[in-house]
Amino acid sequence: MKRFLIIAIAGAVTLVAGIAVAMGASNAMGATSKGGVVSVKQISGKGSILVSAKGLALYTNNQDRQGMLVCNVACVSFWKPLTASKAPTISSLPGKFALVKRGSLKQVTYRGKPLYTFALDKSGQVSGDGAHDAFGGHNFTWHVVHAGKATSSQTTSTGTSPGPYGY
């Protein structure tokens, strides 16, 4: 039953992502990186956060560190790595953007932490902030990236609360 639920959720996520791409997500307003990969957007209740070119909130987790990417396979079906051919720059932001190799792609990092979007978010939404989940034997805690502030602490979650997927 649990396996069926996971497959159904993955199918729904794929469908929602396809619809979002087909409809064309709106661009974020605010400071935009050269190349348009990352922008800063004011989100009600969250303040100024980093967003993708599609206006999706950007997140980091407490497990990926020092170039080791542990969000893989099932994890990346919900938490999509932000990839680019070169590191973005936003002169008004403190901190440094860089790239880390993820297979044949290059994932964008900010202040040393890999950036991800959340598959269940829509442009202007921040529904994954503080989410706890587990994939591949790793417990993750996800944090939206605030513009001009340090990214989340590097502690791990050991809680047993349900993840953002409702199970």
CA distance 101 to 117: 17
Q: Is the pLDDT of residue 18 over 50?
A: no
pLDDT, averaged across the chain: 76
- pLDDT (mean) for 92-120: 92
Judge whether 165 lies within some domain. Answer: no
Judge whether 164 lies within some domain. Answer: no
Judge whether 117 lies within some domain. Answer: yes
Domain that holds residue 82: 26-144
Judge whether 19 lies within some domain. Answer: no
pLDDT band at 150 (very low <50, low <70, confident <90, very high): low
pTM: 0.70
CA distance 158 to 36: 36
Helices and strands, counts by H and E, the chain: 2, 10
Specify the range with the lowest mean pLDDT, choosing from 27-41, 61-75, 138-152: 27-41
Judge whether 6 lies within some domain. Answer: no
Judge whether 9 lies within some domain. Answer: no
Our count of domains for the chain comes to 1
Q: Is the pLDDT of residue 19 over 80?
A: no
Q: Are 81 and 114 in contact (CB under 8 A)?
A: yes
Q: Are 59 and 144 in contact (CB under 8 A)?
A: yes
Name the more confident of 44 and 17. 44
Judge whether 116 lies within some domain. Answer: yes
Judge whether 5 lies within some domain. Answer: no
Name the more confident of 28 and 4. 4
Long-range contact set of residues 74-79: C-beta below 8 Å, sequence gap at least 24: 74/135, 74/136, 75/133, 75/135, 75/136, 75/138, 75/140, 77/10, 77/13, 77/119, 78/13, 78/118, 78/119, 78/120, 78/133, 78/165, 79/116, 79/117, 79/118, 79/119, 79/128, 79/140, 79/142
